[in-house]
Amino acid sequence: MSEPMDPNDLIAEAAMELLREHGPQTAADWGNLLADAGHGTPDDMTEFVEYVEDPLLGYLTGARYAALDTLFEHRILTHRLTDAEISSGVLDANPDLMVLRVFLDSFDDTEDREIRVVHRGLDDAALAERGIDDPTFPADEGFLLAPDALSECAAGDLIGLFVADRELTLCTVADVVDPTPGFADALANILTDTGAETLDAIVWQLMLEEPTLFRQPAAPLGELLESAGYVRDGDYVAIEGFDFEAFHLANRARMLEIRDNLHPDEAAAVIALVDLVSAAHLEFPEDTSEIGDWARAQITENPQIYVAVAEPPAAAAALELLSELDDHDEILHAVATALADKGPRRVKPAAYWLAGKAADRLGKVIVAEAYYESALDRDPDWVPAIFELALLAADRSDATRALALLGRIEGGESEILHDVLARYAPAEHPELGRNDKCWCGSGRKYKVCHLGKSEITFDDRANWLYIKAQLFSRSPEYFDVVFDLAEVRAQHWDDDDALTRALEGGLAVDTALFDSNIFGVFVERRGELLPADELELAQQWLQVPQSVYEVVSTVPGTSLTLRDVRTDVAYDVADEWGSLNLEAGSLVCARVLPAGSAMRTFGGIEPIAAADKDGLIALLDSPDTEPWQLVEFLSARFAALR
C-alpha cells in the first residue's frame, strides 16, 4: 500500500488548481484563494505559495504566478527542420521550441513518452544511437522523437508542437500567419525596464497579454525575434546592440548583494576575482605553472578592483563561488598568491587566507597554516584566518592555543569549537611551580611533564577525534552533504528542532563521515596534524563498516554486548543509552569503533525490526547503495510514530 500523501503536497496541488481556475495571481491573492478554500490563514498561505515547486508554475511580471498549462493550452509553436534533425529524429529545440520543455519536465522520467528532452553532455549515448556525432548538435537541449517521426519531411519544412491537456502533439505546418502586427512593440514593452529577459518569461508574458498569439501556426520564434531586431545570449533576449556582458555582471552583483549581504563594491570585487580565476583556467587549461606570472600582470593593470575582497564576507563569497568550478584549487592558489604579492595592501590578509584554503584542499595543510599566519602578520585581527588556525590547533590536540586564538575573536566563546575545547583543555595547577614535581607521580618536573598539556585519557581523546571529524564536516566544503542526509533523517520528526538535532550527530552525521568519505578526506588532509596515536586510531576506523548486531546482554547504565550477525564476532560496547533501552535478542544497526580501552558507537545505535534485517544487510552489502538510502531505511521506523 502506498504511503499517504504529504499534507503540504496536497495543499500545493490545490494551489495549482486554483491558479488554473482563476488565472495569474500575486502571492497575496493566491494565498487568499487558498485561505478561502479552507487550507489555512491568509498570511500562512501567502508564505506557503512562495515555496510551491511545480514544473508548470511560471513567474510573470508584476510579481504574479501563472499555471503554464493553462497559458499554453491550444497554442502551437513551430520549427524549421534541418537534414540532421530529419535523419536522427532529434529536434534542436533552442530557441524555437524550448519553452515547451515544461510539459516534458512535468512527467516522471520513467514514463514512456513519444517526446522527451535530451541534454548534450548528459545523453550523448542516446544521441550517438541516433547517428549524431556532431558535438554541437543539439547545441544544448533537444527533443527526442521516434526515429522515423520526420522521415516524410524535407529540410526547410515547418513542423509544429501543439499543446492540449498538458500533452504535446507533433504536426506538420503548411502555412503560417503573422502572429500580430505589434509583435516587436509587445517585445519592447516587456523589455522596457530590464533591457533583457529570458525567452521563457517573454513568451509567457506575450501569451498573457495577447490571448490570440500562437493560436495559429506562426513563423518559428527564432525567426520572429531576428526579424524584429532582437538577439539572444544564452537564455536571454534583448534588442540588437545590447551590452549583455554588463547586464550579466550587474545581475551577478545583485545576486551577491542579496545572498551574501555584500556592499556593491564588495560584490564587484568578488566578481572581478572570480572572473580572473575563470580567465586563468581558460588561458592555461592544462599547464598551470605560468598562471602566477600571468595573474600578477593582470592584477598590476588595475589592482584597486580587488580591494573590497579584503572584507571577510566578500572573501568567503568568492571562495564559495570558486568552489562551484571544477579543478579550481591550483588556479585559485596561484591567483591568490599573486594577489597577495601585487594586490593592494588592504587585500593581502584575504589573499593569504584564500591561498591557504586552496592549499588545504590540495592536501598541503602545513602550507595552508603558514598562509593563515601570513594573513595575521598583515592584520592580527583578520577573523577567518584566526578561526582556521584555531581549528588546526584543535586538530593537533593543542586546546590551549586553540582557546587562546578563539579568545581573540569577538563572540568566540559562543562557537561550538569553544565548547569542545573547554572539555579537553589542560587543568591548571596553580599550587605547583614550574620546577616542582608533577602532580601525576611521574617524578619529572611539572614543566616537562604536564604543564600546558591535557590530562584526558586516550579513551576521551577517541571521542575528541570523532568530534574533530564532525567539525571538519561542518565546513562549507562538505556541509551540504551532511545537510542533505540530515533532511532525510528528520523527515519523519515533527518537532521544530528536528533538523538541528539531525545535524548535531547520530546516524546522518556518521553516514556522511564514513559512507560519503568525509572522514577519509579528514584523515588524508589532517593526518599530519593529529597526534600519532589518534592518526593510527583514525586509520583503524576507516576499515570499520556499519553492520547489523544482535544484543547479547546488557549491563544497565554502563555497557552492552553486541554480536555482529554477519561475522558472528561479539563486542563489549560502552554505551549508556543502549544499555538502558535495549533488551537481549533485539537487533540494531551500528558502527562499533575501537576507542582506547573500550568499544564505542559514536554514531549512535539504530534499533531495527527482525523483518527488516535481511533488507538492511542487502543494503549494507551492495556496492550500489547510496548514503541517503541507508539513512532513509533506518529512519523509516519514525513514520509509524507520527
Task: List Cβ neighbours of 12 (8 Å cut-off, separation of 6 or more).
Answer: 52, 53, 54
Measured between alpha carbons, how far is 539 from 520 in angstroms, rounded to an integer? 9
Q: What is the mean pLDDT of the chain?
A: 87
**pLDDT (tens digit per residue) in 193-206:** 778 888 998 999 88
Mean pLDDT of 6-11: 79
Decide if pLDDT at 4 tops 60: no
pLDDT digits (tens, 9 = 90+) for 456-507: 777 888 889 999 999 999 988 899 999 999 999 998 887 878 899 999 889 9
Yes or no: say if 511 and 488 are a contact pair by the CB < 8 Å rule: no
Confidence grade of residue 430 (pLDDT, cut at 50, 70, 90): low
Q: How many CB atoms lie within 10 A of CB 14?
A: 16
From 87-96, 281-290, 460-469, 502-511, the region with the lowest mean pLDDT: 281-290
HSE at residue 190, side-chain half, CA atoms within 13 A, is: 28
> Shortest CA distance to 314 belongs to which of 268, 380, 379, 383?
268
The span from the CA of 489 to the CA of 606, in Å, is 12
The stretch 418-447 carries a mean pLDDT of 68
Query: How much is the pLDDT for 452?
Result: 54
pLDDT at 450 over 70: no
Residue range 633-637: mean pLDDT, rounded: 91
- pTM comes to 0.70
Q: Which residues of 609-637 are buried (b: 16+ CB within 10 A; e: fewer)?
A: eeebeeebeebbeeeeeebbebbbbbbee
Condensed to tens digits (0 to 9), the pLDDT of residues 152-181 reads 999 999 999 999 998 899 999 988 887 766
Task: Tell me the pLDDT band of 186, cut-offs 50, 70 and 90.
Answer: confident
On the question of pLDDT at 323 being above 90, the answer is no
- pLDDT band, residue 587 (cuts 50/70/90): very high
91: left (phi over 0), alpha (psi -120 to 50) or beta: beta
Q: Among 107-111, 128-132, 419-423, 561-565, whose mean pLDDT is lowest? A: 107-111
Mean pLDDT of the 209-234 span? 89
H/E run at residue 143:
strand 141-144
First to last CA, the chain: 18
Locate 298 and state its grid cell. Answer: 593582470
At residue 611, the pLDDT reads 93
Q: For residue 558, is pLDDT > 70? A: yes
